Amino acid sequence: MDAPAVDLSTILCGVRLPNPTVLASGVLGLSHQVMARVARAGAGGITSKSCSLKPRAGYHNPTILDWGMGLINAVGLSNPGVEVMVEELQAARELLAPQGIPLIASIFAETIYDFGTVARFISPARPDLIEVNVSCPNIDDRYRLMFAADPYVASQVTRRVKLNTDIPVLVKLSPNVTDLSRIAEAVVEAGADGITAINSLGPGIILDVKTLRPLLAHVTGGLSGSAIRPIAVRCVRDIRRAVGEEVPIVATGGVTTGRDVVEMLLVGAAAVGIGSAVAQRGMDVFRQVNEELRAYMVEHGYGRLSDLRGKALPFV
């Protein structure tokens, strides 16, 4: 007897994904060849590595450590700059479009004004969506804080980006704030089409207890991976309650299995980003996660993702 039909597709800001798994920014998203390989491995969407106006070297090695429950990293947002990334994104589009896999271009900047400039320069590559990384540790000289830490600053970045592109915009938020719900409301009021949550948690420190030295060259780093998933689930719940059902959320943070995807969907996610699990388990994680998700839906009688999206919200 054939298994019941299950539709894993989802809609994100008007863009169709064949399944809800998205390669998170910062992992394997620098070259068009690798982005195409990730798509062939089963990802439903691809997010490029965050790019800035000018090339950025990042921090010295070691920059990433697997500490068992996830990763700690201080890469420093290294990237070749927007001019090079435009070429990579254009090449990636040619490879991904025939597969029906959307491309999300991640951007960041050091000032509010430059966010708009990067958005304008990246738009001719015609990614399906732009993800605006306001949760990186770069400092705006005027405000002296992380862009995602203040509702007004985050909204100003969002407005600047929206003025410079006609491509749907996701704003990537941080868990390292006092009122995530208010910040989510502010970026949506400023025009954000959707939200990605969360970025890494921290910063944290891991020491070599023999040498008494930090294991990362930068000393501190952001935590990601399975250890932070419960925090990510709570953040997605809070954002969904704040902005309502119409604003899609890409839930990112510690997703490793199909069960984790289900959990994110149950608190209202439209799609789910996978990052650290790719670094720890390889590209095949996308196929495995989707198989586990499909098996769960068959077992529990769900035919579409919309059948379980948000179903846990009355209880949490």
Domain boundaries, the chain: 10-50+77-199+223-311
Catalytic residues: 136
The CATH number of 10-50+77-199+223-311, from 1.20.1250.20, 3.30.460.10, 3.20.20.70, 3.40.50.2300, is 3.20.20.70
What contacts 243, CB < 8 A, 6 or more positions away? 184, 185, 188, 195
Of 81, 68, 109, 62, the C-alpha closest to 219 is: 62
User: What's the pLDDT score for residue 2?
Assistant: 58
User: What's the pLDDT score for residue 3?
Assistant: 61
Q: How many Å apart are CA 204 and CA 120, to the nearest integer?
A: 34
User: What's the pLDDT score for residue 30?
Assistant: 87
Residues in the chain where the model's pLDDT stays below 50: 1, 137-144
To the nearest 10 degrees (0 to 180), the angle between helices 112-122 and 82-96 is 40
Tokens 């704030």 — which residue?
177
Of 124, 223, 136, 205, the C-alpha closest to 164 is: 124
Of 314, 252, 250, the C-alpha closest to 27 is: 252
Query: What is the pTM assigned to this prediction?
Result: 0.95
Of 174, 178, 231, the C-alpha closest to 197 is: 174
User: What's the pLDDT score for residue 172?
Assistant: 98
